[in-house]
Amino acid sequence: MEIKESLRLPRRISDNLKILIKIVETVHKSTDLHEIYDTALDLVTELEKVDMAAIYLVDEASDEAVLQAQRNFPDDYVEQASRIPRPVGITWKIIDSGSVLNIDDISNNGDVGPAGLEAGYSGILGVPVMLDGKAIGVIWFARYSYEKFTTGEVELLSTIGNQIAIAIARVKQKQELEERNKNLSLLSKVTERVHASADLKLIYKTFLEALEEISLFELMSLYLVEETGTGKEAVLQIQRNLPHEYLEKASRIARPKGATWKVINSGEALFYSIYDKKNPLGPAGRSLGKRSVLSIPLKYRGRTVGVIHFMSAVNKVYEKQQIDFLSSLGNQIGTAIAKAMMFEEANERAKEMERLYENLQTTQDQLIQTEKLASLGQLVSSIAHEINNPLTPILGYSQLLMSHAETDPVKVQRFYEVINQSADKVKKIVENLLSFGRRDAPRRDYQDINNILERAVDFRELQLGLNNIAVVKDFGSGIPKTMVDPGQLQQVFNNIILNAHHAMSASSEPDGRLEISTSCADGDNIEILFSDSGPGIRKEILGKIFDPFFTTKAPGVGTGLGLSVSYGIIKEHGGDIRVDSQEGKGARFTVRIPVRDYRHYLNDTEHDVQPAAESDEENPPSDSVKRVLIVEDDELITSLMQGVLEAEEFMVDLSSDGEQALEMIDGKAYNFIVCDIRMPNMDGREFYRKLSERNSGIAGRILFITGDPSEETLDFISKTGNRFLSKPFKVNEFKEAVSKIS
């Protein structure tokens, strides 16, 4: 017997080694855990005195030891003990201790549960499955006999257990790597999509679509902080699978309630479980059932602007890799939201800047107009005096002529001359007032600076003379024309002359002197100098005179806007304005305007009125009768023009509005037409358009007359290509215009 037994021992060792080798080959060849479990357990139960075997692994999400595979355990055991909650039974004793457990009789061990006691085995060996120094499960080996496993058996089964543990670790690492790669791919895709747009709605839609590929949670909610009238609230933006009851209670969360505000206030990620009695969930969160929650803060410019909650009923504990992934996912959506918020903020700022700029432009226009009105208000009495002066001889001499009180031809001729000269003065005053008070949009015309300056001097000449201020003009010859806004430029010159007038009027000197000169030495800039003999400007205020609302005048006398508005106008023209002064020695203002050729502005002109279409009749009618149509509703002006034209041997027809004129044109041919702009029924603009539609060459031979020299009117006439006269006009001006058109 001893010889037979001794022969059996080497054979048993050989068999055991063969089984071990097969197990090693299998577990290291396969990547399927279930295949590894099944093959290993099948081979283990072939060993002598190993009647049963089972493998348990820890499920961290549920905190349970879960049966992965078994051999020869009864069905009742499998049904009762497939999931063993911590810390029940000897299975958890081995997992928690990480030590091998070898028992000869389970009935003598108080840790064995009812399912184990009824399973039919007596001796058991529990080998922990170790991974990175931590027990992640147990492999059970059981026998029917009442005996412990021998040292050799323990070593063999421990080796088998270690090999299975290595295989499990290898497969888990592979699965983790695949999951990590999958998560990285998903994260990359989400990042690319959410950062491709600055539209919050599209970002949210993209994010929700990406969540469909993630199984780490069942519920999700994203909140952003909003300012309210009474404080702050976290407002739900998007959610996944949240029940209606929750949405009714927690769509808006007032500060500082619940877990949402705990994360927002701390700015730190937070993981908590419904199982934790100290979890910060509010009633609405608790109503979602037994779940674990991972909350990620959303940050923008260093402050927390919201939070994402990921909620799971399956994952009671998130692994570090999963937390890292969800945190990265939250950070990416947070960054995308921050970018969208920044984009919206930038848009709002751009719109606000645009509004501010428009307001600034409006304010500047208002300041210009205010200064005009302020200056005009100061001149009301002088203007009334200036207009009434020439009106007096007009009225007086015209009455003498009408009453035939004077019959001497020489005196009568003199009366006519005085009336004409006086009327001409009134005409100049009205022209200057229209130019000064006009509130048109800034425009650029090809202008002679000397002419604009002359008009500005004429506007102030009477006032200056009343205060014994002499004006000395030295306007350079050959000054090139340039593109300027004549109205605005005249306003600048008026402001400077008015300031000099005030300064010299306030001086103790009985007489004053204002020298005005123009020059263009370099050919690129026109220089205008204003030098007065006033008291000068004190050194301490010299740098402030162009500041808005700064004035040295008494309250009610000046607004402090004239020079600041003038400064803005000159800068807008690309020029420069400066002042030099010494106290007691007067002041000198220098204005520089760049010379700009009109051809640089031709491409900027838009024509919305087409010149009259050419016709076969390029020249006036060739018969001996010269016929003219006058379209004018003022009888006195009509009579004047009719008399002048008839004296030039024209046949003259009269019409008081455009409709009547069109009917007359149908029946007669005219050399040219004299047409007013403003008339009842059909005005001059509409008359011209109707005439152009008829493809009549006469539309190109109209002499427009108007008492409305507004920009709108002048633009219209300019675009027709026809000539015009401004009312009032002189007879010789009318004759000259007729000679050029006829």
Question: Is the pLDDT assigned to residue 653 strictly greater than 90?
Answer: yes
728 or 662, which is more confident:
662
Give 118-137 pLDDT, tens digit per residue. 888 899 999 998 877 888 89
- Mean pLDDT over 642-649 rounds to 88
Question: Is the pLDDT assigned to residue 608 strictly greater than 50?
Answer: no
Overall pTM > 0.85? no
Question: Is the pLDDT assigned to residue 742 strictly greater than 50?
Answer: yes
H, E, C per residue of 162-207? HHHHHHHHHHHHHHHHHHHHHHHHHHHHHHHHHCCCCCHHHHHHHH
Question: Which of 3.40.1390.10, 3.30.450.40, 3.90.170.10, 3.10.110.10 is the CATH number of 2-177?
Answer: 3.30.450.40
Share of the chain above pLDDT 90, in %: 14
In terms of phi and psi (left: phi > 0; alpha: psi -120 to 50; beta: otherwise), the region of 91 is alpha
Class of domain 200-347: alpha beta
d(CA 537, CA 265): 61
3-state secondary structure of 522: coil
- Mean pLDDT over 320-337 rounds to 76
Residue 80 tokens read as 């009762």
d(CA 176, CA 289): 29
Report helix angle 33-44 to 2-29, nearest 10: 180
Q: Is the sign of the CA dihedral 109, 114, 119, 125 positive or negative? A: negative
- Mean pLDDT over 239-257 rounds to 87
- Type of residue at 327: S
Question: Is the pLDDT assigned to residue 361 strictly greater than 50?
Answer: yes
pLDDT at 138: 92
pLDDT at 277: 65
Residue 478 tokens read as 């050959």
pLDDT at 616: 41
361 or 629, which is more confident:
629
DSSP 308-350: EEEEESS-SS--HHHHHHHHHHHHHHHHHHHHHHHHHHHHHHH
- Type of residue at 395: L
- Type of residue at 315: N
- Mean pLDDT over 434-463 rounds to 73
Share of the chain above pLDDT 70, in %: 80
d(CA 89, CA 114): 10
pLDDT band of residue 382 (cuts 50, 70, 90) is: low
Q: H or E segment at 704? A: strand 702-706
Q: Beta partners for 293?
A: 272, 311
- Mean pLDDT over 201-207 rounds to 79
d(CA 434, CA 158): 111
Per-domain residue ranges of the chain = 2-177, 200-347, 440-603, 607-741
Backbone angles phi, psi at 447, to 5 degrees: -125, 155
Check if 2-177 and 200-347 are the same fold. Answer: yes
**What is the fold, at CATH topology level, of the domain defined by 607-741?**
Rossmann fold (3.40.50)
pLDDT band of residue 556 (cuts 50, 70, 90) is: very low
Radius of gyration of the chain (CA): 52
Nearest-CA neighbor of 268 among 225, 300, 299?
Answer: 299
Question: Is the pLDDT assigned to residue 607 strictly greater than 50?
Answer: no
How much is the mean pLDDT over the chain? 79
- Mean pLDDT over 444-465 rounds to 83
Q: How many helices (H) and strands (E) does the chain have?
A: 20, 24
- Percent helix, strand, coil in the chain, to 5, is 50, 20, 30
Question: Is the pLDDT assigned to residue 239 strictly greater than 70?
Answer: yes
Residue 495 tokens read as 């402001």
Question: Is the pLDDT assigned to residue 526 strictly greater than 90?
Answer: yes
Residue 439 tokens read as 């509130």
Backbone angles phi, psi at 154, to 5 degrees: -60, -45
Nearest-CA neighbor of 332 among 176, 186, 178, 180?
Answer: 186
pLDDT band of residue 609 (cuts 50, 70, 90) is: very low
pLDDT at 40: 81
pLDDT band of residue 7 (cuts 50, 70, 90) is: very low
Question: Is the pLDDT assigned to residue 675 strictly greater than 90?
Answer: yes
pLDDT at 62: 72
pLDDT at 615: 41
pLDDT at 530: 93
Cβ neighbours for 458, distance < 8 A, ≥ 6 positions apart: 428, 432
Class of domain 440-603: alpha beta
d(CA 222, CA 200): 13
Question: Is the pLDDT assigned to residue 487 strictly greater than 90?
Answer: no
Top mean pLDDT of 55-69, 191-205, 304-318, 322-336 is at 55-69
d(CA 81, CA 70): 11
pLDDT at 70: 92
The answer to whether the beta carbons of residues 516 and 472 sit under 8 Å apart is yes
CB atoms within 10 A of CB 628: 23
Give 527-548 pLDDT, tens digit per residue. 999 999 888 888 777 766 776 5
